[in-house]
Structure 1
Amino acid sequence: MIDFLRKVPLFSSLNNSQLTIISNICSKKSFKANTVLFHEKELGSAFYIVFSGSVKIYTAATSGEEKILSLFKTGDSFGELSLIDGKPRSASAQTLEDSVMIALSAPNFLDMLKSNFDISLCIMQELCNRLRDTNQHVHDLTFLDARSRVIKSLIKLANKNGIRSGSVVTIKMMLNYDEVSQMAGVQKPILMQVIRDFQERQILTFLGNEMKLDLAKLRG
C-alpha cells in the first residue's frame, strides 16, 4: 500500500512514516462499472483514491442532463472537500469501468489532518491546484468558442489518460460522445462536426474503443 500511496500526487512529497499513517487508515473496495460512489448534495462519508479503473465526476440538472467536470484514473484522489468543510457533496461520482478504490472514512481522515500538519499542507496544495483548474475551465467557457473548447478537451483527455508514442497519443475511450460534449461544454452536433473534420485530416483515428490523436498534425 505504501508503494502505491507514494505514487499518488496528493502524497508524493511525504516520507515513509507519514505514508504509513495514511496506509493504516485505508481500506480497499471493489466496484462494478457504472456504480455511483456518491451523489451530489449528500453528506460526505469517505475520501477516495483510484487504485485501478476510472471515475467521472459530474453534476446533473433537474432535467437529468449531466455535466462532466473531471475524469479520474489510477492515483487520482477525490471527495475530500465535503469532508473538510462539512457541507454536502458538490458533485456526484460514478465508476466508468470495473474499479478498485482506496477509501478513507471521514472520521479517520479528519483525525489524520488534525494530527499531521505536513499531510494537511499537501491536501491544501492539491485543493489549490484544483481551484486553479476550475478557474481555467470557467475562463474557457467564457472566452473560447465551441470548436476551441472541443480541441482543448481532447488535448486534456490525451494528457491525462493517454499513452504517447512520438507525436501520437492513444486514449482509451471511457466516455461516449454525449459525455465528451458535456465535458467540453458544447452541443453534440458541434462535437461530431469537429471529430469528422479531424478524421478527414487524419488528426483523429479510431480503432475499437481507442482513439489516436496526432499532435503533430493538430499543430499543423
Structure 2
Amino acid sequence: MHDPDIPASTPRAWHEVLNGDAWFAQCPAELREALQHLGRVQRLGAGEALFERGQAAEGLACVLEGALRVGAVQGDGRATLLAFLEPGQWFGEISLIDGRPRTHDAVADGPTVVLRVPERALRGWLAEHPAHWQAIAQLACAKLRMLFGVLEDIAQLPLEGRLAKRLWLEAHGWGARSGPPRRTLRLPQEQLALMLGVSRQTANKALRALEARGLIHLRYGSIELNDLAALAAAAGLDSPAA
C-alpha cells in the first residue's frame, strides 16, 4: 500500500480510514493484512474515471480520500447516480464474485485516492484461503439488504422521509461506519437529487422543509446534520442509535 508520490506519513491516516469501516474491522486479521498487502494506491483527478460501465472486473477497491460518484449516463442523455462513495467505503465485490463486467461508472468527485486490490492477485490469494470468501459474500449481502431497504422506501415513504433517511444513512456510512456518525455531509444537492431520482428543485424544496424544522443546515456543497434522532424519526426508523 505504498505510493512514492504520497508522503510516508499519509498511510497511517489511511489505516485509520480502513479500520473505521465496520466490514473491514470485522474481517479476520489474515484477510485485512492481505487486502492491504495486495492493494495498490491510485490517485484520480476531478472527473477522472476509476472504471466505466461494461469494463472487465478489476477486484475490490476502497476510497481512502475524496469521493467517487457511481452511476451512469442513460441512452437519452439522462444521468443517474447510484451512490456517493466516501473514505472507508469498499466496493467491487459483486464483479469479484460473479466475474461479470462493471454495471456502472465510478468517477472522482474532486481529487480522490483509492486503494485497489487487483482481481487476479486477490482471486489467487482467495484460492489458497477459500474460507475468506465468506467475508466477501457478507460485504455483498450488506449491499443487497440496503438495496431492499431503498426499494421499500420508494414504495412507502414520501420524499421528505426518503430524504431524511438518506441523510441519516449517509451519516452512518450506510451502516459501515464503526465510529461516530458524521455531522457534515459533503453532498451537493444536485448529487442528492440524482440519487433520489427527482429534480434539483424538488430536492431543494424537501431539504428546505427539513431545515425549517431545525433538523439540518444547508451550506454550499455540504449539509450539516443538527439532529440525527429527529432525522431518524422523520425517516420512520425505529429508535436507531444516534
User: TM-score, normalization: structure 1?
Assistant: 0.83
Q: Which amino acid aligns with 1:98?
A: P
| Sequence identity (%) | 20
Shift in Å at residue 196 of structure 1?
A: 2.2
> Following the alignment from structure 1 to structure 2, what is the Cα–Cα distance between the partners of residues 202 and 87?
45
Do residues 214 (structure 1) and 216 (structure 2) align?
no
Q: Which residue of 2 aligns with 1:144?
A: 157
Shift in Å at residue 217 of structure 1?
A: 5.5
Q: Which amino acid aligns with 1:42?
A: Q
Do residues 90 (structure 1) and 103 (structure 2) align?
yes
Do residues 12 (structure 1) and 25 (structure 2) align?
yes
Q: Work out which of the residue numbers 72, 80, 84 in structure 2 matches 1:71.
A: 84
Structure 1 residues 207 and 8, CA gap change in structure 2 (3 angstroms): closer
Q: Work out which of the residue numbers 115, 121, 130 in structure 2 matches 1:102.
A: 115
Structure 1 residues 21 and 142, CA gap change in structure 2 (3 angstroms): same
Do residues 199 (structure 1) and 203 (structure 2) align?
no
Cα shift readout 1:129-176 (whole Å, capped 9, x = no counterpart): 1111111111112222222222222222233299979xxx63242x33
Q: Work out which of the residue numbers 190, 202, 209 in structure 2 matches 1:178.
A: 190
Shift in Å at residue 127 of structure 1?
A: 0.7
> Following the alignment from structure 1 to structure 2, what is the Cα–Cα distance between the partners of residues 13 and 203?
32
Q: Which amino acid aligns with 2:90?
A: S
Q: Which amino acid aligns with 1:123?
A: I
Structure 1 residue runs of 4 or more that deviate by more than 6 Å after TM superposition: 161-165
Shift in Å at residue 59 of structure 1?
A: 2.9
- Aligned-residue RMSD, C-alpha: 2.8
Q: Which residue of 2 aligns with 1:160?
A: 173
| Higher-strand-fraction structure | 1
List alignment gaps of at least 5 residues for structure 2.
Answer: 2-10, 235-242
Number of residue pairs aligned between Structure 1 and Structure 2 = 216
Shift in Å at residue 199 of structure 1?
A: 3.0
